[in-house]
Amino acid sequence: MELKFALLSLTAALSVFSNSVLAKAEMTLRLGLEPSIDSPQGVGAKEMAKVADELSKGKIAIEFFPNQQLGTGPQMIEMVKKGELDIFQGGAGLYSSIEPRLNVFDIPYLFDSVEQAYKVLDSDFGKEILATLEPANLKGLSFWENGIRSVTSNVKPINTPEDLVGLKIRVMPANQVHVDLWQGVGAKPEPLPYGEIYGKLKSGELDAQEHPIAPIYTGKFYEVQKYLSLTQHMYGPLIQVMNLEKFNALPKETQDILLKASYAGAVKMRQFSNENAAKFIDDMKNKGMLVNKVDTTPFKAKMRPLVEKPYVEKNGDDWLKKINASIEADRKK
């Protein structure tokens, strides 16, 4: 109850702040996102807007369009390309049709921890990755948090890879790699926008879904799922993008403000997700969800080759080598 009250109080306070900022700003940027404004993404978006307002001395405002008000993730990416929407943030896999090498983040058990991932994403190499979106008229502002994914199910707890066989599971749209992965372990994947997951789970058309803890909690999937199995099978970043032409047309000072504000939003979202994950799990347990830890060793042995081998065959191993080198350096420390 305390956690829910805190989230609602934060939302109410920031709503008043946002309205006053929009009224006095010289430039208003429209930001679309798939989940609610109360989600971790919303927490980060509000921080970005706050920092942009402060650094620009009130000249820049950011208006939010949550809950897929403007369309699904793939649709909003197209809107940003065309200049119909200023900013969008979504899973890296949503951009894989633009840059197939981004599927590197779909390799299961690529990172040991979120901290390892941050060191890669916030490095010069991370900036190189974001720059590959520019031919599609997208300016990659920064990597945001999606977190480490685990499986929820209504059928049974997932303790071994064999428990996934026959499971009707939601997967990210516009990403064939995810379809191939879950088919490879014997599940029945169904690509579906985030906003449709709850209803499909409730109706029984789907048995399962997989997300990081924070989206599972804020999406209230505990209301329509019985089991949460901590498979922790994949770390996936979000990428926040802006229309490249609009970004390039801005003064350098304004560009720098947006880049700093975007990164501030990313950091805030990461902190929120990581600091509250244990609280979210405890609250879901209190609401009746059954949570089980998983020995990830057999999952890694089964799942990682299903993605890594075809990824290297298709895209080469340059990005993978750079990521592995960073991970190895981190382990030696």
Predicted TM-score (pTM) of the model is 0.87
* Integer-rounded Cα radius of gyration of the chain: 19
- Cβ-contact 90, 133 below 8 angstroms: no
Give me the mean pLDDT over the 301-314 stretch: 98
Whether the per-residue pLDDT at 23 is higher than 80: the answer is: no
DSSP assignment of 179-240: HHHHHHTT-EEEE--GGGHHHHHHHTS-SEEEE-HHHHHHTTGGGT-SEEEEEEEEE--EEE
With bands split at pLDDT 50, 70 and 90, how would you rate the model's confidence at 238? very high
Give me the mean pLDDT over the 204-221 stretch: 95
- What span, in angstroms and rounded, lies between the C-alpha atoms of 177 and 311? 9
With bands split at pLDDT 50, 70 and 90, how would you rate the model's confidence at 16? very low
Whether the per-residue pLDDT at 7 is higher than 90: the answer is: no
CB within 8 A of 80, min separation 6: which ones? 86, 87, 88, 137, 138, 241, 242, 243
Whether the per-residue pLDDT at 88 is higher than 70: the answer is: yes
CB within 8 A of 279, min separation 6: which ones? 3
Which of 1-15, 19-33, 309-323 has the weakest average pLDDT?
1-15
Query: Would you give the DSSP letter of residue 25?
Result: -
Whether the per-residue pLDDT at 10 is higher than 70: the answer is: no
pLDDT of residue 223: 98
H or E segment and range at residue 170: strand 168-171
C-alpha separations of 293 from 214, 227, 228, 231, 232 in Å:
17, 11, 9, 7, 9
Q: Is 53 helix (H, G, I), strand (E, B) or coil?
A: helix
pLDDT of residue 117: 95
Whether the per-residue pLDDT at 3 is higher than 70: the answer is: no
pLDDT of residue 146: 85
Distance of alpha carbon 277 from the chain centroid: 15
Whether the per-residue pLDDT at 2 is higher than 70: the answer is: no
Give me the mean pLDDT over the 14-18 stretch: 50
Q: Tell me the torsion sign for CA atoms 225, 229, 233, 236.
A: positive
Whether the per-residue pLDDT at 232 is higher than 60: the answer is: yes
C-alpha separations of 298 from 66, 116, 162, 324 in Å:
38, 22, 10, 21
Structure tokens at 38: 């109360």
pLDDT of residue 313: 97
DSSP assignment of 224-290: T-SEEEEEEEEE--EEEEEEHHHHHHS-HHHHHHHHHHHHHHHHHHHHHHHHHHHHHHHHHHHTT-E
Average pLDDT taken over every residue of the chain: 93
182 or 218: which carries more pLDDT confidence? 182
Q: Tell me the torsion sign for CA atoms 253, 259, 262, 264.
A: negative
- Cβ-contact 145, 166 below 8 angstroms: no
273 or 141: which carries more pLDDT confidence? 141
pLDDT of residue 331: 83
With bands split at pLDDT 50, 70 and 90, how would you rate the model's confidence at 5? very low
Cross-strand partners of 209: 152
Q: What tens digit of pLDDT does each residue of 265-305 get?
A: 999 999 999 999 999 999 999 999 999 999 999 999 999 99
With bands split at pLDDT 50, 70 and 90, how would you rate the model's confidence at 158? very high
